Structure 1
Amino acid sequence: MQQIARSVAMAFNSLPRPHRVLLGSLTVLTLSVAVWRPYVYHPDATPVVKALDLHDNKPVHTLMPDASEPIDQTSADDVDVALPPDDTTTQDGSDETTSSNGVQDYVVSTGDTLSSILNQYGIDMGEISQLTSTDKDLENLKIGQQLSWTLTPDGNLQQLSWDVSRRETRVYDRTDNGFKRNVEVQQGEWVNRVIKGKVSGSFVASARAAGLSGNEVNDVVKALQWQMDFRKLKAGDEFSALISREQLDGKRGQSHLLGVRLKTGGKDYFAIRAADGKFYDQNGNGLAKGFLRFPTSRQFRVSSNFNPRRLNPVTGRIAPHRGVDFAMPQGTPVLSVGDGEVIVAKHDGAAGNYIAIRHGRTYTTRYMHLKKLLVKPGDKVKRGERIALSGNTGRSTGPHLHFEVWINQQAVNPLTAKLPRTEGLTGADRRTYLAQVREIRPQLVFN
């Protein structure tokens, strides 16, 4: 051992001085690390357990990375957080008017076909073909008729109801072999009635106290939604509604709002139903604010289409793609497609920076993966106004804008959806409507 030590010492001394310094330093460092042991693992020791406090009662699985999905690919429950409620929120937030649960309503307008209506809501063309093979009359929808439908949990059509007329309704129920048709013919007497009142507290409570049903209040709000914010009405504001109600065996059946007048701030607002089922002002001008089809000044390439059954390219799971992706350079100005109020403007995980805008009561649009937000919640925006710059934030595979359109809390295809337009009635349609206005307007009195 001593001879080995002497040999090592001689070899060390024969080295150049810089090498001896470096080797000595490494030896000291190695000995220091071997001696310094700040932590020793003892397998028999009691483990230290740290409790994790989950706020808001969130389930554990939602905190796991594998369970995360972008907002545009989440469940309906998650979407509700970013969307305005389908009900009418009053001034104090306590009264609500709820439409039918899970039922989507649609009034047929010019140019509509069964395929164009249902397809924009993501219903498969095969199911639409099965419907029309059950009843060929579905290929000849008329303006003003109403369709209502419900979906199965996996997004397939469960039932479709078609109001052919005030008296006839055709219902199509899903079966193992397609759809089965049932015809319901109602016999009743239609009576027109003017219901008037004053706002005291919330509009919903005041309208119900005056004699309007929940659905009728809903119709009033929808008719006037583009002209006012019902939450900002004041005590003493007056309203008058002309309602056509059907009496069936002594009981109230269907009802239709024919016209409504509301006075607030010394100004009168009118909405009168035309033959096409839509509401116009006293001169036949459209009440709905017009929408842009695209949220940018020029059209960009669609990199991912609306698809309720899309395979998520990031997670590899089947998840609905409730909007359209436009491939565009970062920093491209993003525009609001319509007049409205900003209800969300923030960073939200996988969606990145995103904005949600409420347009009246029926429509909501959302813009995701933004680079920079130019608006904040509560801001009122106009159609074509710059609201953000596009980006690549959140869970994104490249620079793009994810754009969504929601109608009555249901996502529709932004490229094919029937959006509001500002055009009014013309020609013979306008003359017929003005004659109707001259008949209805004198009935909408307050005293």
Structure 2
Amino acid sequence: MQYIYKKIYKKISLFFNYKFNFYNISTCFINTVIISTIFLSNSVFSENKKFFYQFIINKNYEVKNNIFNKQNQKVNIQDLKNYKKIKNKSNLIPYLSKISNHKFIKKVIYIKNHSNFFKSAFKSGFNLYDINTIIKAIEWQISFHKLNTNSVFNLIFLKKKINSKKNKNILLGIKLNNLRKTYYAIRAVNGHFYNLNGFNKAKMIMNFSFLKKYRISSHFNLHRLHPITHHISRHLGVDLAMPKNTLILATSNGKTIKTGFNKISGFFIVLKHHNECLTKYMHLNKILVKVGQIVKINQKIALSGNTGRTTGPHLHYEIWINKHPINPICAPSNFVEQLTKKERISFLKTSKIILSQLN
């Protein structure tokens, strides 16, 4: 039996090797079946790797459902902590006002022929954390799939001392030249990025309280083993376990663009929000809105159910931006309110310092 598990571990490690390196994927096993691969933060990923290794060498070679559920619960809580909405203001503005030019670090990513952003960024010496920060900072302005060859990223980092021994490079600004167009993204005191005028059209007010209220039974995962079909398929949202006929509320202001029923999604609703942002709600029992209807944040739009292809009552929830799905667990760090008047005035002053380094 030990040989079988080691063989499975070896094969799956080789198959998912690049995914472990690029996406921080953790794989959990129950008996000899791969249950799921889930996107996690670095810290949670490390914890789950230890769990996985201990399971492989465990004498019993079995993981009971309650252990797996506890592991998932641990992951849910940790992910919510890592990706919770930023509330505390950083002290970057007074720090920037006193800093001299030599403490800025300027870096460039040049996308050459037969390459892409990710390859070019790795070749330029950027790590996964920096690449992820760059993407989040400017993806609301341009899709990374539409980047042309010869596109140039000019990046400004702040070298800030955390303690006497360690330094941390903080991304402050981005200037992207792509197809004769120039895009800017400047960091504000709340940690998010805005254009030169202090606006971010993709940043919306959204309510994600339900992510903490209900247990996530299945995570966002592009390589999930489907519990019914037993095939590897994309799971582009999160499943929230909840009793049948639980009230479903709109997570943001928007417009109902589609409702309906199909064998897989059951009864479903698609809401369109500002700037190519969509939210999808599936496996519903009853739809309370009509196509074309304007909805407000926290408005009742449906009752949860168990329709379509499911293993039990739950809500499947998705978020799409620019026709690309994003992990709802990470969403609280992507959607915030616009800057207040005072914050915007301070931002405009700070952005001049950063802009002078970018140009």
Q: When the two structures are superposed, what TM-score results if normalisation uses the length of structure 1?
A: 0.40
* Rg comparison, structure with higher value: 1
Q: When the two structures are superposed, what TM-score results if normalisation uses the length of structure 2?
A: 0.48
More helix by share: 2
